[in-house]
Amino acid sequence: MGKAVFLDKDGTINHDKGYIDHPSKIDLLPGSSEAIRTFNEAGLKVVVITNQSGVARGYFNEGMLSAIDKSLQKKLLSENAFYDAIYYCPHHPEVGSYPYKQDCDCRKPNPGMLLKAAEEFNLNLDECFMVGDKLSDIEAGKNAGCKTVLVLTGYGEEVKANLNGTRPDFIAKDLLEAANWILTLA
């Protein structure tokens, strides 16, 4: 069974600018491509796990989301880094209309996207890591049995100040510091 690093997208890999509704709005955070390249070189799968309720809200459609994701991958590839897969949840439990308005198992903090990736890539989840800037990222990782890292980019500083019962295994200033910690354990 393999190992992977699950990464939240907005606020972890790229700047969180609200609902990113166009490929031109993808702007990598400093050090994120270097961190992902480090995972690539270590032989770890890199899987992006992202809630995208902008689809349910009608801000953009799944076709635009695909174009945005291709833009992210292209920017990473230009810096010799890549992700192996991206999983997104287009749902919201209270907003939108069918099929997007639903309480699903894929919307973080539920572990559905991680479980699906684990099945498709034959991953051992207790040897995997979930990295993100929101409590829902940490909870999704814990719900899937992964080690977790809170990055202080995006919403991370605010989340750190308000941590209650759910504690990440590590708190990192950014994705690069998270990568350095992960590689000591992987």
Binding-site residues from annotation for Mg(2+): 8, 10, 133-134
Positions at the binding site = 8-10, 16-19, 50-53, 89, 91, 104, 106-108, 133-134
Q: In what order do the strands lie in the sheet with 4-7?
A: 85-89, 45-51, 4-7, 129-132, 147-151, 170-172
Cα R_g (the chain), whole angstroms: 15
Catalytic residue among 10, 69, 137, 174: 10
- Catalytic, 69? Answer no
Positions at the binding site for substrate = 8-10, 16-19, 50-53, 107-108, 134
- Least Cα distance to 40 among 80, 70, 92 occurs for 80
Give the DSSP letter of residue 29: P
Positions at the binding site for Zn(2+) = 89, 91, 104, 106
Q: How far is CA 110 from the centre of its chain?
A: 13
Residues 81 and 141: their CA atoms lie apart, in Å, by 23
- Catalytic, 21? Answer no
Catalytic residue among 8, 69, 137, 174: 8
Determine the Cα angle at 84 with ends 24 and 103, to 5°: 75
Active site residues: 8, 10
